[in-house]
Amino acid sequence: MWRKRTVGWLILCMVCLLLLIARLVQIQLLDTESFSKHNVNLLEESVKQRTQELVIDSGRGDFLDRNGELLTHKKLRVLVLFPFLKKIDWDAEKVAEIAGISNQALRNAVENAKKPFAFGEPYPIELTTSQMERINALKIPGVFAVEKKFERASVPAEQLIGLTGENASLLKKRYPEKELPEKTQVGVSGLEESFDEFLLPEGPTKLVYHVDGGGAPLFGINVKYVDPANPFYPVNVRTTIDQTIQQKAEELVDQYKIKKGGLVLLNIEDNSVLAMVSRPKINKKNPYEGSGITNRMLKQEIMGSVFKTVVAAAAIEHNLDDPTRIFDCTKKINGKPERKYNHGKLNFTESFARSCNRTFGELAKELQKKDPSILEEYAEKLSLIGSVGWKGEIYHTDDFRQFPNEDKGRVFLSDEARKDANFVAMSGIGQHEVRATPLAVANMMATIARGGQKEMVRAVSKIQYKNGTTMVEFPEKNLSGESISPYTAMKLQKLLREVVLNPNGTGRALSSLPYSVAGKSGTAETGKYEDGKQLHNKWFAGYFPFEKPKYALVVVNLDVKETGNTVNLIFADMVKMLYELD
């Protein structure tokens, strides 16, 4: 009996030993880079246990403004110190003297350190080039003066640029053929997402120091500098944003307390984004809480009377703009007396300047009788339907889009609405089912200012290699489809200018600005209520200077009560600011 038990125990021990060996083989040889369901890289983790390191640059590509300045990060010359300094004799007094800091503060910082750090973090003291050279000339182990990349506390155009995050499953799904560490940052919104493949890091640049279990030197006190040393990567994405204008635009939007909305500023000459502000801001602690991560400038909104520009274009090209014709603006669209906005009897030009709903409701119905799709046809001619962001072929991508989450505009959702005279009248004043993005509205203004030439909107002009040479260019491109005639564009330019020049025009408050403005206001009922009061989308869209157009600007304040004229005030301050900068 005891022999059988002994044999049984031996067999059990052998099985356990074999299982243990198999587990060790799995850990040491087979799954070293993707252990367990969490895909843990055991090689990396083992190295981390016996090293202290300071990442100087993550290796992910950067975003630059149109002048080549960093947008999301800043590079600072800082003093880096390693914890092992507390265990050796070093000339702290000399380092403190060169850096212009207290010797005691320097020693206290080292004594309290558990890992390498930049002195003064989270607000590190910046060194001059001379200070860097003098500190490094001392050749003190564990003391370095280096240029380190820091993320900005406040990123300009944060919704446009977008966010990154660690997401192992998304990383594997997006790049199944690439071997990337699971902690690799991936773009999850904005340009970070659309340009993610170009921005992926080759590897971080860091200072590494090997220690034993107690934190003592393992191979002496030499610190190793690790750098992928690729002259071409990481790349830089050169945006069209002007950082100075962007920052001032954000200050204005916040100054006027825009809670939901923002602005888009385009450079008409090359149809590129100079500034884009979206509110609410992103909650960095929880980006998906609320709607801060959403770029409202790329989302379709009810646009109200701004859409009358489309109706006016169609009316001009179908000879319905007779200057002698008089419209009864004492009545609403439905024929009932207009008590709130009783403009009296107006002609076509005055109706546009004063934004008479009756005029454009009637014109929309007359146009619909000619062709039920005519409003959509002219909305497309003015780039309000479809996407307007840059798209095209880049490398192996046939349909690369700079704005992958851009909404498309629309006029009608159904054929029934398209043929219903009442719905058509409401659509003529930008209500009912009419929607467009602020970006598309800005592009409409730029199209009119250029005499009818439709172009795609760019937020990025090129991708540059690390050495500054060009990897990919995003040239100016025309939007496909028909456009309005130069004659119609000229007539629309005059109408938009009259909005500002007319003593009763909805843009009259902008008549005395240093740049001459042409534009159109819009107040759209959203169907939402607060405290029993109807909420509105407030717009002002235009371009300037009128004589030689340079900028197209849209300001929008969403879901607000009708009181106040915030969008006109922001528009005016933007014009003044740009005039001063120019």
Residues known to be catalytic = 305
CB-based contact 388:439 (threshold 8 Å): yes
Distance of CA 71 to the CA centre of its chain: 11
How many Cβ atoms sit within 10 Å of the Cβ of residue 496?
A: 25
Q: What angle do CA 433, 438, 439 make, to 5 degrees?
A: 120
Amino acid identity for residue 208 in this structure: V
Taking CB atoms within 8 Å and a gap of at least 24, the contacts of 99-106 are: 99/125, 99/127, 99/131, 99/135, 100/125, 100/131, 101/125, 106/81
Cβ neighbors of 330 (< 8 A, separation 6 or more) are 337, 338, 342, 343, 344, 345
Instruction: Give the span between the Cα atoms of 320 and 63, in whole angstroms.
Output: 49
Q: Give the C-alpha separation, 223 to 202, whole Å.
A: 21
Q: Are the C-beta atoms of 549 and 449 separated by less than 8 Å?
A: yes
Tell me the backbone φ, ψ of residue 327, rounded to 5 degrees. Answer: -105, 140
Alpha carbons 529 and 146: distance in angstroms, whole number: 56
Q: Are 384 and 310 in contact (CB under 8 A)?
A: yes
